[in-house]
Amino acid sequence: MATTQVEPPPPQVEETSSIQRVIIASSVGTLIEWYDFYIFGSLATIISTQFFPTTNPTAALLSTLATFAVGFVVRPFGALFFGRLGDLVGRKYTFLLTLIIMGGSTFAIGLVPGYATIGVAAPVIVIVLRILQGLALGGEYGGAATYVAEHSPVGRRGYFTSFIQTTATLGLFVSLGIILITRQSVGVAAFNDWGWRVPFILSVFLVAISIYIRLRMSESPLFSKIKKEGKTSVNPLAESFGKKENLKMVLLALLGATMGQGVVWYTGQFYALSFLQSVCNVEYVQANTLVGAALLIGTPFFIVFGALSDKIGRKWIMLSGMLIAIIAYRPIYTAMYEDTNIKNKTEVAEKTNVAVKAAMTGTDSVITATTLKTYTDGTSYKEVKTETFPADDAKKAVLAADKKLAKPVIKKEVTLSAGGFWLMVFLVTIQVLFVTMVYGPIAAFLVELFPTRIRYTSMSLPYHIGNGVFGGLVPLISTRLVLATRPAPDQPPSDLLAGLFYPILIAGVCFVIGAIYLPNKSHDNTME
């Protein structure tokens, strides 16, 4: 008599409660890694004064390297190193290692004595620790995305991996929140002096909790299966990038998906904040608060678009996000600028207040004029103009020779009314929605593009080049493009939106390549 054997469920199918544990363990750790990575960027100004004084050219150079180098050079190396390790020894221990390295280096940054105490050793140590942060981040994301995807049932991979996708935005949100809370708690002066160390030191507790959670997790079922069968890759790097069959998919992932996603991500979150602070002159706390609010409103949409990609496919959600961003960026940034432009507002003349203060700094006379203005819509404007008049003949000669130094220092600050604030939240939220469209489904898209034996390595590299190089360069290149529109070096730029040309161009090329070449993966897709 013939017997019917009931086959056990495929290894990638797990019970819901188990998957929830997997998602929590992976997401919490990844969120903490993003938090660790972003607090350095968010505190870059303070860190540069503590470790990289401009009076020392070497330290100033290191400052620039610290800000940029890690993002685009080190992250892809971390992706290669830890991706290889993850495909050789397993996902679990690799992304546990990245968490320890990230947490350790972040904690250590909080303890490094400043330049004033140990001299040039301070910036060198900080650079080394920042490099370790970048390497760890390069290894973390691919591991977490792969780990969750390999636990997910077929047809729900977009939904489950989208929780990992929320972590980058939430990490930024938490970093802004903790910085603001610490700053408000200890005061601005104390924060600039020592309080900035608190967010770094706090990281060690968050990492400890995450390590505890992750240690209790088991290895990915798909990886365990191929390991048991002796089918793991012997040389993941050679297999990923040395064979045409896989290299062509790596190139497709980079040029047709991640490079566009990277610039949309960085424009919608970082460039928006930078534009608010440096171009629109929005007051520091208000700018961070409104971006934080937009991040919080937009975050659930990572999950919405991740889940939707299980139903209609990943490709067109990601590409639609890119296309809408390309079309909408200039109108959105124009609206942001106009919302804060005091020339568009009616001043309440009787509320205007000008205070002039004179002081002596050494032998120099310093005149500070503070102007406070209020507008009918509730917006307030503060301008602090500081001019230095040296008594010393040598200093006078320096000022006469350098027009830049002779100019008074003017600091402008716009505090938006409630209406203006919420309009700005709306404009930034739209950009976060673009981010959720391109970023929500991309983890599932990338893991499905590559086989289990080399998945960690293959997906990590295009992801980190797309985000680290193309995305990470948005602030640098965009600022450069804006400055290039100055008619003369001492004149203001003629096109404040010129910086958008770079993300629009990259996203545009990516959209064309993606639309023509990308496969449209969806729920019927199984992973080898």
Partner 1 sequence: MSIKKILGIVWILMGGAIIPFIVLRAIQEIGEKPTQDNWIFWSIVLIVLMPIIALSMILFGWYAWQGEYEMIT
Residue ranges binding partner 1 (CB under 8 A): 57, 60-61, 64-65, 68, 72-73, 244, 247-248, 251-252, 254-255, 465, 469, 473, 476, 480, 513, 516-520
Q: Please, which residue, 248 or 403, has the CB nearer to partner 1?
A: 248
Q: Is 346 exposed, middle or buried (0-12, 13-18, 19+ CB in 10 A)?
A: exposed
Q: Is 62 exposed, middle or buried (0-12, 13-18, 19+ CB in 10 A)?
A: buried
Closest approach of partner 1 to the CB of residue 64, in Å: 5
Closest approach of partner 1 to the CB of residue 53, in Å: 15
Q: What is the CB neighbour count within 10 angstroms for residue 163? A: 24
Question: Tokens at residue 265, please?
Answer: 């991500």
Cα separation, 286 vs 296, whole angstroms: 15
Question: Tokens at residue 521, please?
Answer: 């993966």
Q: Please, which residue, 322 or 430, has the CB nearer to partner 1?
A: 322
The greatest distance separating any two alpha carbons of the chain, rounded to the nearest whole angstrom, comes to 110
Cα separation, 507 vs 425, whole angstroms: 24
Closest approach of partner 1 to the CB of residue 248, in Å: 5
Q: Please, which residue, 104 or 468, has the CB nearer to partner 1?
A: 468
What percentage of the chain's residues is helix, strand, coil (to nearest 5)? Answer: 70, 10, 20
Closest approach of partner 1 to the CB of residue 393, in Å: 28
Cα separation, 482 vs 498, whole angstroms: 5
Cα separation, 444 vs 12, whole angstroms: 14
- Residue carrying the six token digits 């996000």: 321
Give all strands of the β-sheet with 409-415 in edge-to-edge order.
Answer: 353-361, 364-374, 380-389, 409-415
Closest approach of partner 1 to the CB of residue 438, in Å: 19
Closest approach of partner 1 to the CB of residue 465, in Å: 6
Q: Please, which residue, 172 or 449, has the CB nearer to partner 1?
A: 449
- Whether the CB-CB separation of 355 and 514 falls below 8 Å is answered with no
Q: Please, which residue, 11 or 519, has the CB nearer to partner 1?
A: 519
Closest approach of partner 1 to the CB of residue 235, in Å: 21
Closest approach of partner 1 to the CB of residue 469, in Å: 6
- Whether the CB-CB separation of 37 and 133 falls below 8 Å is answered with yes
Q: Please, which residue, 231 or 248, has the CB nearer to partner 1?
A: 248
The DSSP code for 242 is S
Closest CA to 271 of 467, 475, 421: 475
Q: Per DSSP, what are the bridge partners of residue 282?
A: 414
- Whether the CB-CB separation of 432 and 305 falls below 8 Å is answered with no
Closest approach of partner 1 to the CB of residue 255, in Å: 5
Closest approach of partner 1 to the CB of residue 227, in Å: 29
Q: Please, which residue, 23 or 518, has the CB nearer to partner 1?
A: 518
Q: Please, which residue, 473 or 507, has the CB nearer to partner 1?
A: 473
Q: Please, which residue, 160 or 470, has the CB nearer to partner 1?
A: 470
Closest CA to 48 of 63, 69, 70, 65: 63
Question: Tokens at residue 88, please?
Answer: 């050789």
Q: Please, which residue, 65 or 304, has the CB nearer to partner 1?
A: 65
- Whether the CB-CB separation of 446 and 145 falls below 8 Å is answered with yes
Element (H, E) at 369: strand 364-374
Closest approach of partner 1 to the CB of residue 18, in Å: 33
Element (H, E) at 383: strand 380-389
Q: Please, which residue, 68 or 337, has the CB nearer to partner 1?
A: 68
Closest approach of partner 1 to the CB of residue 506, in Å: 9
Q: Please, which residue, 433 or 500, has the CB nearer to partner 1?
A: 500
Closest CA to 302 of 168, 164, 162, 174: 162
